[in-house]
């Protein structure tokens, strides 16, 4: 299975789409394998962590969009580059509290950490 961080060209993407259209059963097989993996008892902790990470990433994305900021505008406000913001919003970066704080402030919010 490919990692989400793999970058492909337009041509490679078109070829993959054509291949899936020609053999749609492969997509179902991969989906079944993925579901079996994530639902297996030995992977529950990993799955829970991944889902929580996704929730946080979605919240960061929504926060930026609600503030009416582009990734480039947000990056400028917190002193980083647009590609870093893109990586954050794709869940590819582990964030420090400092970065989370600056991200929230740049979007006009305050950071509140709560453990339940």
CATH number at residue 80: 1.10.260.40
Are residues 96 and 68 part of one domain?
yes
What tokens appear for 71 in the block? Answer: 């990734």
Distance CA 36, CA 43 (A): 10
Q: How far is CA 87 from CA 4, 44, 84, 95, in A?
A: 11, 25, 5, 11
Task: Average the pLDDT over each of 77-81, 98-102, 110-114 and give the range with the smallest value.
Answer: 110-114
- Nearest CA to 70 among 53, 91, 54, 89? 89
Is 113 a domain residue? no
| Overall number of domains in the chain | 2
Is 49 a domain residue? no
Q: What is the pLDDT of residues 3-44, one digit of tens each?
A: 444 566 778 778 887 887 787 777 677 777 877 877 788 888
Are residues 100 and 58 part of one domain?
yes
Is 82 a domain residue? yes
Distance CA 50, CA 83 (A): 22
Are residues 62 and 32 part of one domain?
no
| Whole-structure pTM value | 0.65
């Amino acid at each position: 299975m490919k990692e989400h961080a793999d970058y492909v060209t337009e041509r490679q993407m078109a070829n993959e789409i054509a291949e899936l259209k020609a053999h749609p059963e492969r997509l179902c097989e991969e989906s079944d394998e993925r579901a079996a993996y994530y639902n297996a008892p030995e992977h529950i902790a990993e799955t829970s962590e991944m889902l929580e990470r996704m929730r946080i990433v979605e919240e960061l994305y929504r926060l930026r969009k609600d503030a009416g900021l582009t990734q480039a505008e947000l990056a400028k406000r917190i002193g980083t580059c647009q590609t870093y913001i893109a990586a954050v919003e794709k869940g590819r970066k582990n964030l420090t509290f400092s970065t989370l704080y600056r991200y929230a402030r740049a979007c006009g919010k305050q950071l509140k950490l709560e453990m339940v």
